Structure 1
């Protein structure tokens, strides 16, 4: 076999091994409820969309109504300057839009003379620079939005959302789409971003069990490996086995996997305790364990917020 072929074959074999390793990793798919980035407005369940000033304020208002309704967390009430009525929050704002279109120049290089080289390939031997006239359109749209509590007028959320669009076209190129369509895309983008920021979210995520047997007593290797494999067919039974193993001989990998088990069954406090035990036993992997702890803390926050709302 030639050296090049041998290298390719080896690389292919390594790729297959790597793919098999990834494919064999045992994971569990979970679904969790996480808090809004801005929690305070998420308590205002009945949201009144009040007047959004500015030439494109109406478009943003419609977009906000759709985006909030699509999130399913808020009951949306359209006010448009009318009395607030029975609402918990008042969403209002101002949109400013600046549109400019001007002529601009661009230099292009044209080939005046070509010649074939020794291999028959054409190359340019004489060039000329020319100036062409193009058009450039710029749209800058900024939305200032706030949400006030209806009960006392206190601001629960305030944000400025800028959007910028710039397009240039020259002779021979198609002109851009209409300004109205671009502005509508900008307001839709802002509305979606605001709705994401103030709404709790449901996320599906995968957790991978630790399979490291570093520092683990040799007599536990097979038992631990069997327990990890069993997570794919009998998660509760595998978790009981992991918990028994940790009670007998604490190990960082077992502690972490016990944390995953607790998170999977919704016992978030127990999950945090297990992740902390893992961090204590394996300080060099603290970043992994801290990430898990932070995630579960967020799950606890949203769980407690929902209980408070009920």
Structure 2
């Protein structure tokens, strides 16, 4: 099965500069499969003191979601807009409230002995331990979201995502950022968790080929080295050499892996999966096979969705 993956910009694996790599596209289906099978969603008003902020961040992240071809994954509608009629398949609702707690705590810290001030800019041998009064701030977010199908009201997704951030600072320490900045981070983290459940994940990155020539003749080894050099300028040229060599040495580990990787590079995921699985219990091949299996699952989900 082939699919042409366009506009997938994220690089998930950064290989060392100059390494022998192939450019690969792969993906993973959205965990919330029933929601992800839909096209039109509406975000309702969220309850709670910070519900509006969470709803806005979730809506923004869903608007950024893309399918394998780089197209917007969802159509998002205002709940009561005229365009929503007949187009909204499910409604997103939720709540979010933030609590900020600050308290004084007693801690033992090491400071410079020759100063009454809380200095720490001296050698450790010139410090002693003192009990000091510090401040601790705990910012907590209680977030809950559910998605109900518009046709019958059935809840098809529900998740609570509690988040918290704790900071303690003592005399001589730099104070942390404001509590509002902490709230922004928690809202962003919660929205990221929700959006990750609802959208597919497509990536493009560099996967390193195997370089061992063990088991090859001298002549085959020279050809293999030529293929490695070719990866730096043309993955297709490198793959042509690997695929010629594997005909002569079909059980050689590097050639088996690299030719399967070549199939994955071209989007021939069925051949890639068969190639990696043919390597049996090889751990590196098993990890690659799982990546390809997940990609095939994501492709099938998008094809079924239409």
Residues 96, 141 of structure 2: 8 Å contact kept: yes
TM-score by length of 2: 0.76
Which protein is richer in helix relative to its size? 1
Query: Following the alignment from structure 1 to structure 2, what is the Cα–Cα distance between the partners of residues 220 and 128?
Result: 67
Residues 78, 84 of structure 2: 8 Å contact kept: no
Matching residue of 1:160: 160
Whether 2:58 is the aligned partner of 1:64: answer yes
Residues 44, 149 of structure 1: 8 Å contact kept: no
RMSD of aligned Cα (Å): 3.4
Shift of 1:235: 3.5
Whether 2:46 is the aligned partner of 1:52: answer yes
Matching residue of 1:268: 269
Matching residue of 1:212: 212
Query: Following the alignment from structure 1 to structure 2, what is the Cα–Cα distance between the partners of residues 113 and 294?
Result: 61
Question: For the structure 1 residues 100 and 273, does the alpha-carbon distance in structure 2 shift closer, same or farther, using more than 3 Å as the test?
Answer: same
Shift of 1:241: 3.5
Query: Following the alignment from structure 2 to structure 1, what is the Cα–Cα distance between the partners of residues 290 and 19?
Result: 23
Matching residue of 1:89: 90
Matching residue of 2:28: 34
Residues 94, 146 of structure 2: 8 Å contact kept: yes
Shift of 1:176: 5.5
Shift of 1:228: 3.4
Question: For the structure 1 residues 156 and 82, does the alpha-carbon distance in structure 2 shift closer, same or farther, using more than 3 Å as the test?
Answer: farther
Matches within 5 A, 1:249-260: 249-251=249-251, 252-260=253-261
Matches within 5 A, 1:1-310: 25-71=19-65, 72-79=72-79, 85=85, 86-107=87-108, 129=130, 132-169=132-169, 178-251=178-251, 252-277=253-278, 279-280=279-280, 283=281, 286-310=282-306
Query: Following the alignment from structure 1 to structure 2, what is the Cα–Cα distance between the partners of residues 164 and 80?
Result: 34
Matching residue of 1:11: none
Shift of 1:165: 2.2
SS in 2 for 1:221: helix
Residues 138, 164 of structure 1: 8 Å contact kept: yes
Query: Following the alignment from structure 2 to structure 1, what is the Cα–Cα distance between the partners of residues 112 and 213?
Result: 67
Question: For the structure 1 residues 294 and 154, does the alpha-carbon distance in structure 2 shift closer, same or farther, using more than 3 Å as the test?
Answer: farther
Which structure has more relative contact order (CA 8 Å, sep 6+)? It is 2
Query: Following the alignment from structure 1 to structure 2, what is the Cα–Cα distance between the partners of residues 109 and 230?
Result: 58
Shift of 1:234: 4.3
- Name stretches of at least 5 consecutive residues in structure 2 with no aligned partner: 1-15, 66-71, 116-122
- Mean Cα deviation higher: 200-209 or 232-241: 232-241
Question: For the structure 1 residues 79 and 254, does the alpha-carbon distance in structure 2 shift closer, same or farther, using more than 3 Å as the test?
Answer: same
TM-score by length of 1: 0.75
- Name stretches of at least 5 consecutive residues in structure 1 with no aligned partner: 1-21, 115-120
Which protein is richer in strand relative to its size? 1
SS in 1 for 2:290: helix
Query: Following the alignment from structure 1 to structure 2, what is the Cα–Cα distance between the partners of residues 59 and 52?
Result: 9
Question: For the structure 1 residues 215 and 80, does the alpha-carbon distance in structure 2 shift closer, same or farther, using more than 3 Å as the test?
Answer: same
User: Between Structure 1 and Structure 2, how many residues are aligned?
Assistant: 276
Matching residue of 2:118: none
- Mean Cα deviation higher: 60-69 or 193-202: 193-202
Structure ID, larger Rg = 1
Query: Following the alignment from structure 2 to structure 1, what is the Cα–Cα distance between the partners of residues 80 and 17?
Result: 55
Query: Following the alignment from structure 2 to structure 1, what is the Cα–Cα distance between the partners of residues 143 and 258?
Result: 46
CA displacement, residues 49-80 of structure 1 (integer Å, 9 cap, x when unaligned): 12322111122111112221123422222338
Query: Following the alignment from structure 2 to structure 1, what is the Cα–Cα distance between the partners of residues 124 and 44?
Result: 66
